[in-house]
Chain A
Amino acid sequence: MRAVENALGITIPDNARLVRNLISGIQYVQDHTIHFYHLHGLDWVDITGALKADPAKTSQLAQSISDWHNSSTVYFKGVQDKLKSFVQSGQLGLFANGYWGHPAYKLPPEADLMAVAHYLEALDWQREVIRIHAILGSKNPHAQTYLVGGMALAINPNEESTFNVDGLASLIKYADIAKEFVEKVYVPDLLAIASFYKEWTELGAGVGNYLSYGEFPNDSVSNTENLFLPRGIIFNKDLTKVYPVDPSKITEYVTHSWYEYKEGNNAAKHPWEGITNYKYTGPKPPYQFLDTNQKYSWVKSPRYEDRVMEVGPLARMLVAYAKGHPQVKAAVDGALKKLGVGPEALFSTLGRTAARGIEALVVVQMLPVWIGQLAANIKKGDYRVFDGAKWDPSSWPKEAKGFGLFEAPRGALGHWVRIKGGAIENYQCVVPSTWNASPRDAKGQRGPYEQALLGTPVAEPDKPLEILRTVHSFDPCLACAVHVTDLTTNKSIKVKAV
């Protein structure tokens, strides 16, 4: 959206900014919570421990860290019984694959049970709160109301069929549900679990360079100096300096990626000039190992000034913290104090995981602010949500180029577009996991995952739980599944890259 609007010189109305902030904001909160409980949690929580827990002691533990209502002995006994019945029936389902009983699990059984209970609660909760997408975007995932120039969301407080006062009331309701869970469950659980794994503040640091494009415009999208979470770069873990972001310094290598540049394997290309010439040269599956001296990944290697950069919640929180952002500073300092560690602990696997929870807290607290601004605009009689002045291609220049920088929940995301004769001539996406999962570049510099894994302990090489901890701490999202449908036969075609 931003890339095309930037290319065509379009400014969206304030209501569209707020609707987009709300859609992204609840996406952050939902994604981060799902990541913590469902994607990453079982790297720290042992299901078999939960079976051994004393429900009464679990209740005491839960009540000591939060006043969340589900905290009685009876409640935890019920969760444990449910878990036992899964195990006894041999249907572990969600929990079927895990390195249960691994020596790197350190939680007391009661903390395991508490976390498992909240794992299950979070499944229901995330379904509820993402209804904000249904209200503003028609559905989730893949919101349908985006529109170049604004949002396709008719606003009129008095009409039944538009976004109206009932819509506003629903937003407030779901934002409240979201906020209560983050404050009373996610953040207390995060800190409780982290307190048993403090050695992970010294592991998994990785490259130590952090890039944030910044997100949530406070006014115009083009005013990149006034974003709720600021834009900036930190080099070499130095929190005393935040450097500005110059998008012209971003390039991508394919030295170790299954693509070809006509300029050769050591060339780096800016995304506006970027190309996607795929050429698989790896071994024919099944294979034992890749030849990592050659090309070994479908992920390109983005670099900033030829430096490897980590992106994601940790990068955003570090940039905001270093800039003295009041809410982020308070939340980070609060968490560090509770854990009894200093800011240097943030440069780690656990720091990455903690930053995600801190960010969920800071962002969920902004949802009511944006809803309030939207309500105030509507109250003033400002229902504008779309600017159609440049909708018609006849109003466009013959050639245009633009870029849009955005912070997705997983990190810095850039789209670069060139438009010619009303059609897309070239489009390049440099997505968060391209930065983080990148393979080595022409200089042989490791990507962020690769660098972060150095020194990771591995107690049992056939059960590499510790490697999963660090890789999961980045919240990987590789190549979202692409299904191509042939409209003539209506058959789904599986694209197999062999």
Chain B
Amino acid sequence: MPKIAIDPITRIEGHLRIEAQVDGGKVQDAWASGTMFRGIELILKNRDPRDAWAFAQRI
């Protein structure tokens, strides 16, 4: 079965890759991959909890 990869998916926020197996004009199986590491959790360790919102408010 032919496999296609769309990377990056545009008009979104961030980095997303889709792989799909296409057969008979239809998607038979699909995989979604986030291709960027976030790591806000690690940045927040040992910080003042009163500051957490400033780091985490948009995720």
| Interface check A386, CB cutoff 8 A | no
**Beta-carbon contacts of B3-42 to A below 8 Å, as 1s and 0s?**
1111001111111111110100111111111111111111
**Which of chain A's residues have a CB closer than 8 A to the CB of B42?**
276
Q: Determine the distance from Cα of A3 to Cα of B50 in the docked complex, in whole angstroms.
A: 11
Q: Which residue of chain A is the closest to B30 with respect to CB atoms? A: A453
13 A-B residue pairings within 8 Å (CB atoms): A423-B47, A427-B56, A429-B41, A455-B26, A457-B26, A459-B25, A468-B6, A471-B16, A476-B9, A476-B16, A478-B13, A478-B34, A479-B34
Q: How far is the CB of A167 from chain B (nearest CB, A)?
A: 22
B19 touches A479 (CB 8 A): no
Q: Determine the distance from Cα of A457 to Cα of B18 in the docked complex, in whole angstroms.
A: 15
B53 touches A427 (CB 8 A): no
A423 touches B32 (CB 8 A): no
Residues of A266-311 at the interface with B, using a CB-CB cut-off of 8 Å, are 274, 276, 278, 280, 288-290, 292, 296-299
A477 touches B38 (CB 8 A): no
A143 touches B57 (CB 8 A): yes
Q: Determine the distance from Cα of A384 to Cα of B31 in the docked complex, in whole angstroms.
A: 50
Contact residue among A39, A297, A391 (Cβ-Cβ distance under 8 Å from B33): A297
**Stretch among A82-90, A232-240, A444-452 lining the B interface:** A444-452
**Which of chain A's residues have a CB closer than 8 A to the CB of B9?**
468, 471-472, 476
Q: How far is the CB of B3 from chain A (nearest CB, A)?
A: 6
B28 touches A454 (CB 8 A): yes
| Interface check A464, CB cutoff 8 A | yes
**Beta-carbon contacts of A29-53 to B below 8 Å, as 1s and 0s?**
0000000001110100000000000
Given the known inter-chain contacts A429-B59, A472-B12, A480-B13, please indicate yes or no for A4 contacting B52, CB distance below 8 A: yes
A478 touches B28 (CB 8 A): no
Given the known inter-chain contacts A292-B19, A453-B27, please indicate yes or no for A278 contacting B37, CB distance below 8 A: yes
| Interface check A156, CB cutoff 8 A | no
Q: Determine the distance from Cα of A391 to Cα of B12 in the docked complex, in whole angstroms.
A: 38
Contact residue among A288, A446, A480 (Cβ-Cβ distance under 8 Å from B5): A288
Q: Determine the distance from Cα of A274 to Cα of B22 in the docked complex, in whole angstroms.
A: 36
| Interface check A497, CB cutoff 8 A | yes
Q: Determine the distance from Cα of A458 to Cα of B20 in the docked complex, in whole angstroms.
A: 10
Given the known inter-chain contacts A146-B54, A148-B50, A467-B27, please indicate yes or no for A439 contacting B32, CB distance below 8 A: yes
Contact residue among A449, A464, A478 (Cβ-Cβ distance under 8 Å from B4): A464
Q: How far is the CB of A24 from chain B (nearest CB, A)?
A: 11
B30 touches A476 (CB 8 A): no
Where chain B touches its partner, the secondary structure class is mixed
Q: Which residue of chain B is the closest to A299 with respect to CB atoms? A: B34
Contact residue among A97, A447, A458 (Cβ-Cβ distance under 8 Å from B27): A458
B30 touches A454 (CB 8 A): yes
Q: Determine the distance from Cα of A274 to Cα of B53 in the docked complex, in whole angstroms.
A: 19
Q: How far is the CB of A262 from chain B (nearest CB, A)?
A: 17
Q: Determine the distance from Cα of A1 to Cα of B52 in the docked complex, in whole angstroms.
A: 7
A424 touches B53 (CB 8 A): no
Q: How far is the CB of B7 from chain A (nearest CB, A)?
A: 10
| Interface check A361, CB cutoff 8 A | no
Given the known inter-chain contacts A426-B45, A458-B26, please indicate yes or no for A3 contacting B4, CB distance below 8 A: no
B53 touches A146 (CB 8 A): yes
**Which of chain A's residues have a CB closer than 8 A to the CB of B56?**
415, 427, 429
B38 touches A298 (CB 8 A): yes
Residues of A419-477 at the interface with B, using a CB-CB cut-off of 8 Å, are 419, 422-429, 431, 433, 437-440, 446-447, 449-450, 453-459, 461-462, 464, 467-468, 471-472, 475-477
B33 touches A439 (CB 8 A): yes
| Interface check A142, CB cutoff 8 A | yes
Q: Which residue of chain B is the closest to A97 with respect to CB atoms? A: B10
**Which of chain B's residues have a CB closer than 8 A to the CB of A487?**
none
Beyond A290-B19, A415-B56, A429-B40, 5 additional pairs, beta carbon < 8 A? A4-B49, A274-B41, A424-B52, A472-B9, A481-B14
Q: Which residue of chain B is the closest to A298 with respect to CB atoms? A: B34
**Which of chain A's residues have a CB closer than 8 A to the CB of B41?**
274, 276, 426-429
A424 touches B49 (CB 8 A): yes
Q: Which residue of chain B is the closest to A40 with respect to CB atoms? A: B11
Q: Determine the distance from Cα of A464 to Cα of B56 in the docked complex, in whole angstroms.
A: 34
Q: Which residue of chain A is the closest to B45 with respect to CB atoms? A: A424
Q: Determine the distance from Cα of A476 to Cα of B29 in the docked complex, in whole angstroms.
A: 19
Q: How far is the CB of A483 from chain B (nearest CB, A)?
A: 11
Q: Which residue of chain A is the closest to B29 with respect to CB atoms? A: A454
Q: Determine the distance from Cα of A292 to Cα of B3 in the docked complex, in whole angstroms.
A: 12
A497 touches B36 (CB 8 A): yes
Given the known inter-chain contacts A296-B33, A454-B27, A467-B27, please indicate yes or no for A449 contacting B18, CB distance below 8 A: yes
**Which of chain B's residues have a CB closer than 8 A to the CB of A389?**
none
Given the known inter-chain contacts A296-B33, A424-B44, A454-B27, please indicate yes or no for A464 contacting B53, CB distance below 8 A: no
B13 touches A419 (CB 8 A): no
Which of A1, A424, A495 counts the most B-chain CB atoms under 10 A from its CB?
A424
A4 touches B50 (CB 8 A): yes
**Which of chain B's residues have a CB closer than 8 A to the CB of A142?**
54, 57-58
